Chain A
């Protein structure tokens, strides 16, 4: 059922205009009154997530602290056909937690306890509101850590990480969220509690854990997560490598991989990003370089010494103009400081910036960077590129000024063009930020209608009424037809079942 129809049925189920009041009554009849927020000033803080260009005040916010309260909320909303948007820390960059004006926003912020640390099995069971970095901090004294480290790891929550299948700097070697969790507890749209996955390395039946990971809150509400913990590497060293040509830097990335090295992190900054970050944090980046690579290797001391020398050999062969290798953890932190400050550095040189998230095969790096440069001229907007080069995951930062008439719209159009460029090179519109509301139109370009229809069918298996985070992640065929930029599959007209006006 489409969301527009639902709004109508919600009116009906709750008897017209006072439906907000009725829902408040039904919720507070079974839940403590102080966890059901409905006054405008209480709702306002939830109007957006990390994608602040989109805002919507929710009808009601529920702040449960027990799984039973989540179940009650879901059951009442389901019985009354009210849509529900789950929210973790609200750091998502694609608007996945954007509220609905006729829906309940379910904040899991109070679920912030680490429930169990199992040293023998190297696992931690945590509530979904626990911050990503808090897990590593809690197990650090055991010599363990949780590997996925999105750049927002100080603030982002693990429930949101699972919902988005978050990545980070170390994915090439250590994988995404989907590779680093073993079990989740979910509450279904009907309010039923289910265990997905198991404490073993696999579970019987379908791999629903893979399906749930990255499903952006459309299939269930995550209320508990069991993550894998790894032994902290003995040592890490990073090479700071400069190039006078973007193409050489791109080639060096592939050459490092081909030399049999799997770096713990392999990041690239182009010249605008280098200049902006250097002026901000003074990490010692060469401002005249066309691009720099940060290549980190980790492991045992012996392994790191061997690998870092191989990295040096490879990049020198690929034409590096300068290679600096961190001598100690202090210097390593300094080399990374620029990369980590890249986003705030953009904030200094531009009133606003828009962070994109495409992925491409590594071999297309140089090609796509040059293409983005051309688009930058065409749209008349500056762009800086910071990205996870080892994974082929680009984060072009488009600089704009939201106060200038039409700039946001032009920026979004520029962003859409970058998405298409990634797709033309065999990539994806999103590597780790998710689709949310931000890239929902680009989904029409990435997927033909048959795939989109299949996604909707899977969604219906979990949520027949379409009440969980409606309008996100997977566009309706109607929306794609209206958007106009559709995937043409095998030369056939897309969506022949739809009328064209």
Chain B
């Protein structure tokens, strides 16, 4: 059942009040992605009451919803019209909201093929650290008026603004889909997945774990059929459940207490010599590592390939990959430009802001 409530005025006032007192706020949606990032100290500011789809016209391929809208509600509305969120956001729990998803900047298996959360953001309405209600971008596919502050919000974990509304580009759901399984060692998988992408096959996801490559094909029925004939592999039945288990980290690979690292690298990066099992998502560009190796060891290995590592589960600190000094200084100035008192999710992204 969809509920509608516009709390933008109250929420803006809360931020303005906190700004006047220089009192830090911890913005909270469904709390499903609280495990990402650092603990943020401050008065809790719950945005889940600010909810509802503001506009959605399938012919426009644009959906606008309030930040507290449950992701499930948005996905249901899209499915009714035969459309989807192309970046396949992980929910990580039943209460996931659109705002939390965009703030965390998380994207599922389709990311290399359809774009990330940030790529699909067309516009945002936010409250900055001064309590001002601001709109950036819009509901059109192309818009280059002003700096792109709306995409900047994706992945900023609420440190650059409290999201009020988000406009996203959505896409028609593919008419046909199939998943093929191949027996590969990791090195072969990396090579093969990248080789496939040098041809215009209708690939929409590629995942490798424990000796098997899973390749998702989607698009026109005839196109999927011809790709199956050319590429081979074994059919995977009930592949919807499979891709959901990848997206939501409910596979056996993700169970247990070993630290879970997310390694973000160029897709053809060779397997790194790190202890513990690795799974490859995003066609090789997002790798999951279960390893008790010291954070410095993991980060040094990934950095040497031009990538970065963040901890999903475990105690490593800082949780996000440290930034070079000059870039960190620029981050601090950007943060200050939208939130001079430093009240929005202070310490959530990096310990000092």
Contacts and interface: CB of A to CB of B under 8 A. Distances in A.
Instruction: Verify that A and B bind, or say they do not.
Output: yes
Interface of A: 118-123, 142-144, 164-165, 167, 171-172, 175-176, 178-179, 192, 194-195, 198-208, 210-211, 213-215, 219, 231-234, 254-255, 257-258, 260-262, 299-303, 305-307, 359-363, 388, 390-393, 426-435, 439, 443, 446-447, 450-451, 454-455, 457-462, 473-474
Interface in B147-184: 147-149, 151-152, 154-156, 160, 171-173, 175
B144 A435 contact: yes
A255 B143 CA distance: 23
A203 B308 CA distance: 7
A289 to B, nearest CB: 23
Given A201-B267, A207-B154, A210-B152, 13 more contacts: A195-B324, A205-B323, A215-B148, A219-B147, A231-B197, A231-B198, A307-B220, A361-B139, A361-B140, A388-B142, A427-B140, A459-B147, A474-B146
B69 interface: no
A216 B265 CA distance: 29
A431 B152 contact: no
B194 A363 contact: no
Contact of B155 (A192, A207, A258): A207
Contact of A119 (B148, B198, B336): B198
A207 B198 contact: no
Nearest to A435: B145
Give me the 6 closest cross-chain CB pairs, A-B, nearest first. A302-B222, A303-B223, A120-B268, A431-B142, A210-B151, A260-B172
A454 B128 contact: yes
B333 A231 contact: no
B326 interface: yes
Interface in B10-61: 57-61
A232 B141 CA distance: 23
A330 to B, nearest CB: 21
B142 A451 contact: no
A233 B202 CA distance: 10
A204 B310 contact: yes
B144 A164 contact: yes
Interface in B56-104: 57-62, 82
A199 B285 CA distance: 10
B251 interface: no
Given A214-B144, A392-B140, A451-B134, A205 B349 contact: yes
A392 B308 contact: no
5 contacts: A258-B59, A299-B202, A454-B134, A459-B147, A461-B330
A213 B118 CA distance: 13
Contact of A165 (B148, B219, B323): B148
Contacts of B268: 118, 120-121
B337 A461 contact: yes
Interface in B255-292: 264-268, 282, 285-286
A208 B111 contact: no
A393 B141 contact: yes
B78 to A, nearest CB: 13
Contact of A458 (B198, B220, B334): B334
B208 interface: no
Nearest to A490: B133
Given A232-B200, A303-B223, A363 B59 contact: yes
A432 B142 CA distance: 7
Interface in B299-353: 305-308, 310, 320-324, 326-328, 330-331, 333-334, 336-338, 349-350
B132 A198 contact: no
B119 interface: yes
B59 A143 contact: no
Contact of B115 (A175, A195, A258): A175
B222 A194 contact: no
B141 A171 contact: yes
Interface in B216-266: 219-223, 225-227, 264-266
A202 B116 CA distance: 9
A271 to B, nearest CB: 24
A388 B327 CA distance: 37
Given A206-B160, A231-B200, A361-B139, A211 B152 contact: yes
A441 B68 CA distance: 35
Nearest to B135: A451
Given A202-B264, A204-B310, A427 B323 contact: no
Contacts of B134: 450-451, 454
Contacts of A393: 140-142
B27 to A, nearest CB: 16
A419 B57 CA distance: 23
Contact of B147 (A176, A215, A262, A388): A215
A439 B143 CA distance: 13
A191 B10 CA distance: 44
Interface string B104-138: 01000001100110110000000010001111101
Contacts of B308: 198, 200, 203-204
Contacts of A192: 326
B265 A430 contact: no
Contact of A171 (B61, B142, B334): B142
Nearest to B320: A204
